[in-house]
Each structure stands twice: as C-alpha cells, then as structure tokens.
Amino acid sequence: MIGIRVATKSTTAERTKSAAEPGALAVVCLLAWLLPGAGHLWLGRRQKGIIFLLVIPFMFLVGLWLQGRLFPLAMSEPLVFLGALADRAIGTPYMLARMLDAGNGTVIAVTYEYGNTFLMTAGLLNALVILDAFDIAMGRK
Amino acid sequence: MTASHFLIMVLFALLVSIVFATLMRDTAREQVRTGLAMFGGFVAVAYGLGWLMYPFPL
C-alpha cells in the first residue's frame, strides 16, 4: 500500500517538475481552459479534475436552461465586454453552445438574469481552476 | 417554465461551494467540511438579506 502511494506521489512530482517548463505550462493552461478540470487531470490531480469536469459544465448548462445569454465581444459596452470574457473562459462548452446556436438569451424570461449569472460564474470559476492548475504546474501547491 | 427563485439560489450556492471547497482543500474530508460550511453560509446570508430587503418596495 505504501509502495503504491510512493509511486503515485513520485509520478505526480515528476509530471509537476516537467510541467514547469514554459511549453508544458502553456499546455496545462490551454487544456484547463479548453475543458474544465482537464489541467488537473493532466497533472495527476484526478479527484479535483473530475469534480471540476462535472460541476462547471453543469453550471454552464443550467445557465443555458435558464435562458441566459452568451454576450458578444462588444468593446463599446465595457460591462457587456467583461461579461463576454467571463462567458468565454469556460472553453469548449462555450464553443459547443455557439455551434448549437444556444445561449441567445430570452430577455423577457423571468430567469434571464439568473441564467446570465450562472453562465458568467461558470466561466469565472474555470478561470480560477486554470490559475490553480498553473500553480500546481509551477510546483507552488 | 416555472423555476423557484429560492431553489435557483440554493443550486447556485451549492455549485459555487463545491468548486471553492475543491480548490481550497486537498483531502476529501476537508473539502466536504469546507463545502458544507460555505454552502450554509451562502444560503443563510442570502436568506437573511432577502428578509432585510422585504420592507423596501421596488
């Protein structure tokens, strides 16, 4: 049992060490952005990775179900622009929603603002997850 | 579609608590404890603020 634990730890440590190179760091951050939790899974943090992989896209789906809107990158409206950045921070789920023509938002729906909040928060949480993966890859955690 | 405002708030608090607790703690036991405390705090504060705002008209 102890042997297995040691082997697992050394494997994680080796991955972390190798990920400290700039190219590998970029790969970890890109993976973490593309798919919530993928960065953690890549770094051997399986439990955390699976939780992020399930919870964050689910939150994004709830936002779509609540008829929230995926905002356009409109520089003329700073708050909308920030909301659009938050929406895009979730990566693949955003792209899939766009491809499926979801996230147009229904302004008159009672749940419209709730939907926006879920969509943006899912993206912002993924931004935190990306930073956490970066810290792990740098050996800070 | 009928959606309860309270239930949406509870779901939001639950999902955010899970992610924060997972980010902040490393062991499953700590994550559950932190997540539950955070979830309870979110719901309690939101419920309290809701009642505080009750006397004020829109």
ipTM: 0.88
Q: Could you tell me the two tokens for A55?
A: 């919870």
Partners of A69 in the β-ladder: A104
* N-to-C CA span, chain A: 24
Q: How far is CA A113 from CA A31, A72, A80, B8, in A?
A: 30, 16, 13, 11
Contacts of A117 in chain B (CB under 8 A): 12
Specify the pLDDT at position B16: 97
Q: What is the pLDDT along chain A (141 residues), one digit of tens a residue?
A: 333 333 344 455 555 555 578 888 999 999 999 999 999 999 999 999 999 999 999 999 999 999 999 999 988 889 999 999 999 999 999 999 999 999 999 999 999 999 999 999 999 999 999 999 999 999 888
User: For B7-46, what is each residue's pLDDT tens digit?
Assistant: 999 999 999 999 999 999 999 999 999 999 999 999 999 9
Q: Which long-range contacts (CB under 8 A, 24 or more apart) does A99-105 make?
A: A102/A64, A102/A70, A103/A64, A103/A68, A103/A69, A103/A70, A104/A69, A104/A70, A105/A67, A105/A68, A105/A69, A105/A70
* N-to-C CA span, chain B: 24
The minimum CA-CA distance between A77 and chain B, rounded to whole Å, is: 26
**Shortest CB distance from A51 goes to which of B1, B3, B22?**
B22
Distance of CA A58 to the CA centre of its chain: 11
